[in-house]
Structure 1
């Protein structure tokens, strides 16, 4: 069981301390369509090495069931929820067609480049649309963001990767992608990289819960081993401080074939990381949108306030003071609740009756007042204010939580 390795990880903290505070680097990996219960039972020695240094958490993908943020458990939707740190009601990717992404919600790549244009970015992917459509490379809508290095599009190459119904060509593309990721990370050490591998999802769609799915997971573990070795090389030879986060984009239906709905197994994902300073939020049920602010914390990014107030995620690395904000409107009052994660702290509540950020503008917030986070609730009167939307934000010493109330 993956959770058993958490105890070993704590022992390592005592024995060798925290990583040196040198150049901060991040690699995040998406292994497509691997349910949490499958990963937790299949032998994955390379992933287990990473868990031993950091941790493993069962996590969630899909937003609030029945709420405004409910998000389909579909591949591209999950990728973009990770990339932007917000749910589909904001980033506007609802399926794999990726018709009209809302680029006003910046990806982690754009946040990094806007903060420091000298930082180097890379993508290694078995799906071209990850770079061209989701991240929106070279588009004016994304400020003409450009990757410093990319290795993708080979799934379209039927000459070097002959296509067949057994989908083995996708495994071969994954092999090429992971080998190039390992080579480039070893040689260059980009500041922020994304590796995406597809084959495990293909095995689910073709065979459901099956030996083929298990084999797909084990093949992915070998590929993880390559990039983990590359990171270890950089740490040893360049004294860099690397964070790796590995996750999946969705679970699967009970038979293992499909996904897209809101069943427990479709929503249940997992997060693996080498991070030694995971916080109490990681011990609960972190979400896909929590990965962006966690990476930002490691990279030391100061996310612009207008973007930070829109993020749906809570970092599972570093200090955290509250999570799970919710709000409802009743009889002219807004009632808020949240879960406190750190005692003896205060926060502030902000409210806006506009949603101009979604179209590229700025929202006007008024300060409701200060709260003791330990109270875990706050009720305030709207004093007759009418609106189609109330955007409620709880500001804490470690960041912002937000919740929308829509008519």
Structure 2
């Protein structure tokens, strides 16, 4: 009789695993340069598998866009470049011509619950056509407040998809460039990442959920860390981090390989447009051709 116990245990474990609810937390970190992140001790960032990526569309094509926050965050949340979403600057007097991940999720399964917590209010304004589909949203405020709201929502409500945008690193860059104050802002960001991770771990442990956590930044910075917007290698360099193993494409990216040209960056790293299909894949939402997403998922 005892020889059948291991099989029973395997079946029970398999059943529990299969019944876990899938949830996604997307943490948008404004203006964080990957190379500067590597200079600071960040125990919570270190829990992620982080790979270099690129923003700004493809150089010399209709998809090329300025490496500014407005077009970049809309790309992150729609999965397409500017030739589709039509956002060309940070001005809130624009509206995305493309649907966002919030729309894809809700129209695919109206029972799924979402939240968009944006320290920089323009993100939600640029996507305002889809905001009526979001179950909870905030615009503006401070990073600590946005983090607390996200933690409370995750711990108390679960939700299926939560986007939280954090802005302090970008502010430090614009004010001081790279250096001590920029590094301190990264340390503070690491604390907030820790709070968010604890919230997802609480749900995993107590509610049989399985949270995919994605980190992404919108743009890199110029050589001194003050500005961005142009098509330079450093300004186009971003990163995507996963708390789970990625697929072969994701894992194949070599962060240590020196990039000598923008074309190399675009061919050898992860496009910013890969975030949306990754979210949809994890939530088991079929990706439709009419969405015209510009990349494939980073997970199998």
Shared fold, TM over 0.5: yes
The equivalences for 1:4-15 within 5 A come to none
Partner of 1:279: 248
Partner of 2:112: 119
Gaps of 5+ in 1: 1-15, 155-172, 319-407
Provide the rounded CA distance (Å) in 1 between the counterparts of 2:159 and 2:232: 38
CA RMSD of aligned residues (A): 1.8
Gaps of 5+ in 2: 1-12, 254-268
Which one has a larger percent helix, Structure 1 or Structure 2? Answer: 2
SS at match of 2:219: coil
Partner of 2:256: none
- Give the one of 115, 121, 134 matched to 2:126: 134
SS at match of 1:193: strand
Q: Deviations over 1:194-253 (max 9, x none)?
A: 010111001100101111110111111100110100000000001111111001100000
SS at match of 1:20: helix
- Give the one of 79, 85, 88 matched to 2:79: 85
Partner of 2:24: 26
Provide the rounded CA distance (Å) in 2 between the counterparts of 1:186 and 1:44: 23
Cα distance, 1:282 vs structure 2: 4.4
- The two structures have a TM-score, normalised by structure 1, of 0.64
SS at match of 1:124: strand
Evaluate the alpha carbon distance shift between residue 282 and residue 145 of structure 1 in structure 2; reply closer, same or farther with a 3 A threshold.
farther
Partner of 1:43: 41
Q: Deviations over 1:59-95 (max 9, x none)?
A: 1111111122111110111110011100011101111
Cα distance, 1:149 vs structure 2: 1.4
Partner of 1:316: 298
- The two structures have a TM-score, normalised by structure 2, of 0.86
Partner of 1:153: 140
Aligned residues: 271
Q: Deviations over 1:122-163 (max 9, x none)?
A: 1222122222x2321xx4xx4x73321123333xxxxxxxxx
Give the structure with higher Rg (CA): 1
Q: Which moved more, 1:225-234 or 1:175-184?
A: 175-184
Provide the rounded CA distance (Å) in 2 between the counterparts of 1:29 and 1:278: 20
Larger RCO, structures 1/2 (Cα 8 Å, 6+ apart):
2
Which one has a larger percent strand, Structure 1 or Structure 2? Answer: 1
- Asked if the contact 1:152–1:177 (Cα under 8 Å) also holds between the matched residues in 2, the reply is no
Q: Which moved more, 1:118-127 or 1:264-273?
A: 118-127
Evaluate the alpha carbon distance shift between residue 282 and residue 84 of structure 1 in structure 2; reply closer, same or farther with a 3 A threshold.
farther
Evaluate the alpha carbon distance shift between residue 282 and residue 100 of structure 1 in structure 2; reply closer, same or farther with a 3 A threshold.
farther
Partner of 1:259: 228
